[in-house]
Amino acid sequence: MLRLVIFFAILTSAGAPASAAGPTDGYVGSNVCKACHPDVWLNFYKNPHFKSIASGKEAPERTGCEGCHGPAKGHVEARGGSKTIPRAFSLMTPRRQLDTCLACHSKDMSRGEIRRSTHTESEVVCSTCHSIHKPRTPKFLLAKTQNDLCYGCHNAVKAQFSMPFKHRVNEGFMSCTDCHNPHGTSSPSWRMGARPRLTSTGHDGEQSCVRCHTDKRGPFAFEHAALRTDGCETCHSPHGSTNPRLLRRPTVITLCLECHNGAGTFGRSGTGIQTQSSTHNMADPRYQNCTVCHLRIHGSNADPRFFR
């Protein structure tokens, strides 16, 4: 009963500016919601979406509660109910939730090609990762802290970041989003644009790695071709590895011989190196640590065989 009294008090006082927008379009303004949704309302001033209410400069369909939930006149007149509010997230398909958020966020997201991302295709959409009303992190309104959020669905990755050598994500020095864009990615410049694994790309579709490892960016006069065509991950396991240099294989030689095994067409000779040859005697331990001689393994500006 008390609720109803407050409700009418609000409708007649604070509701006034909203009705100025025109009674027929069905928007009643956010103040009206306060009486029946006090818990949501009380936290909302901290929300970045409150700005539209505070400024009062946006059109009603882009302001406050109704910016997401739609015109609420019918909902208020019916005194509530999920079916009466045009956009009740509990009743919406993932695609419709996505569309609702993209009504305003498509500009930030377009570069990420969110509609074609693996997450969207798997029906992991905005409100799976973000919580508007009960965020765990005020910044970015995440439903959980980032590690908990991502590990919640990618449990296997957690084990990878617990390996002897790894990027220090679990320790809090970096996060998944230093390398990945959960919203999707534009075509990368490597691997012929295939299977980008949501790895974020910088200028010209370059790999996220070179933002930090700038010395690997090149261009080099003599570049190790694998770098640009296959990406850093052909040789490295960025999540974690038993090799101190995060190599995909336990030792350098096993890695190199995957491509340079004489069977392919690598090397200027067209055949790559042989396991027994005048220049490389694999029986001699001296030759097994390839990067002792091929020192600038990522590329060199001085030597085509990466000796210096």
Q: Which residues in the 225-284 window bind ligand HEC by CB under 6 A?
A: 225-227, 230, 232-236, 238-239, 244-247, 252-253, 255-260, 266-269, 272-273, 279-280
Closest to ligand HEC by CB, 113 or 233: 233
Pick 69 or 136: Cβ nearer ligand HEC: 69
65 binds ligand HEC, rule: CB under 6 A: yes
Rounded distance between C-alpha atoms, residue 290 and residue 235, angstroms: 14
Q: Is there binding between residue 127 and ligand HEC (CB under 6 A)? A: yes
Which single residue brings its beta carbon nearest to ligand HEC?
80
Q: For residue 18, state whether it binds ligand HEC (rule: CB under 6 A).
A: no
> Is 163 one of the binding residues for ligand HEC (CB under 6 A)?
no
- With beta carbons less than 8 A apart as the criterion, state whether 72 and 85 touch: yes
Among 26, 60, 176, 240, binds ligand HEC (CB under 6 A): 176
What is the CA 62 to chain-centroid distance, rounded? 26
Contacts of residue 205, Cβ cutoff 8 Å, sequence gap at least 6: 186, 187, 188, 189, 190, 193
Q: Under rule CB under 6 A, which residues in 284-303 are in contact with ligand HEC? A: 286-288, 290-294, 297-298
Question: Whole-number minimum distance, CB 253 to ligand HEC, in Å?
Answer: 5
Q: Minimum CB separation from ligand HEC for residue 111, in Å?
A: 10
To the nearest whole angstrom, how small is the minimum distance from the Cβ of residue 275 to ligand HEC?
8
Is 198 among the residues that bind ligand HEC (CB under 6 A)?
yes
Residue 48 in contact with ligand HEC, rule: CB under 6 A: yes
**C-alpha closest to that of 288 among 300, 273, 306, 299:** 273
270 CA to centre of own chain: 41
Q: Return d(Cα 7, Cα 31) in angstroms, integer.
A: 10
Is the bond into 244 cis (omega within 30 degrees of 0)? no
Instruction: Of 223, 249, 219, 251, give the one whose Cα is nearest residue 237.
Output: 249
Is residue 308 near ligand HEC by the rule CB under 6 A? Answer: no
Residues 6+ apart with CB under 8 A from 58: 52, 67
